[in-house]
Amino acid sequence: MIILKSPQEIALMREGGKILAGIMEELKEKVSPGITTSFLNNYAEKAILQKGGKPSFKGHRDFPEALCTSVNETVVHGVPSEYELKEGDIITLDLGLFYKGFHTDMAVTLPVLKAEGDALRLIRETKKALKRGIKKTREGNTLGDIGNTIQRHAEKAGLFVMKGLCGHGIGRDVHEDPQVLNEGRRRKGIALKEGMVLCIEPMFSLGSGEIEEHKQGIKTADGSLSAHFEHTVAVTKEGPLVITEI
């Protein structure tokens, strides 16, 4: 069941989203060679608690930590560890915040100091796909319009949509209906309505779209690099409202 949010509820989510975006900016500044992913996790959890929130992911579906740290071929759900980041790595930071009764969720992928051309292209094009998906998140469109836009962008860029992974609704629960696929057909699927709040999150790789599940996260089956960007977005009368930005 899709749960529509009132303008008052969206305003509360916007409060949390601004806090989450601020913490993410702090985390991005901490990413550098020699930093462990567990350090980033501990920093994120402390910052969330200091702001009066709770980490959305800790304990959710048995995930043990506050921050997902997915390095190189790890697409999502990377578990923080004592792994030290190296120059040339790319890392996805995926963080959720529970604040005043509502969850918000966002993700970014960035290079560690610097990365090679294909890695930077992957990051750049995945971020562009998120922006294009957000533009489609408005009344009168469908979930298929969002997915089709993201899929076509990947194909044009010579990248691959990760199979079986998608965005989702969000609100009082961190994962709500509907699923928001990164592929689809125009004008097909559920119609978007005012009050829907969705996590739009393209996930692309340089190799195939096949994935494998591991204890430390979901990885590309062929070991190729992957990137992931995500925003929490509300459907409003005025158009898409990105909740997770400062």
Domain extents for the chain?
A: 7-236
pLDDT at 40: 98
The pLDDT of residue 77 is above 90: yes
pLDDT at 88: 96
The pLDDT of residue 116 is above 90: no
For residue 153, name the pLDDT band (cuts at 50, 70, 90): very high
The pLDDT of residue 68 is above 90: yes
pLDDT at 96: 98
The pLDDT of residue 115 is above 90: no
Measured at the CA of 31, the angle between CA 47 and CA 65, to 5 degrees, comes to 50
Question: In whole angstroms, how large is the CA radius of gyration of the chain?
Answer: 17
The pLDDT of residue 208 is above 90: yes
The pLDDT of residue 234 is above 90: yes
Give the CATH H-level superfamily of domain 7-236. Creatinase/methionine aminopeptidase superfamily (3.90.230.10)
For residue 117, name the pLDDT band (cuts at 50, 70, 90): very high
| Rounded mean pLDDT, 101-130 | 96
- Between CA 157 and CA 136 the distance in angstroms is 19
When the pLDDT of each residue in the chain is averaged and rounded to a whole number, the result is 97
| Rounded mean pLDDT, 127-149 | 98
Q: What are phi and psi of 104, to 5 degrees?
A: -135, 160
For residue 197, name the pLDDT band (cuts at 50, 70, 90): very high
The pLDDT of residue 83 is above 90: yes
Contacts (Cβ under 8 Å, ≥6 apart) of 63: 57, 77, 79
- Between CA 186 and CA 208 the distance in angstroms is 24
Helix 7-30 and helix 37-50, axial crossing angle in degrees, nearest 10: 140
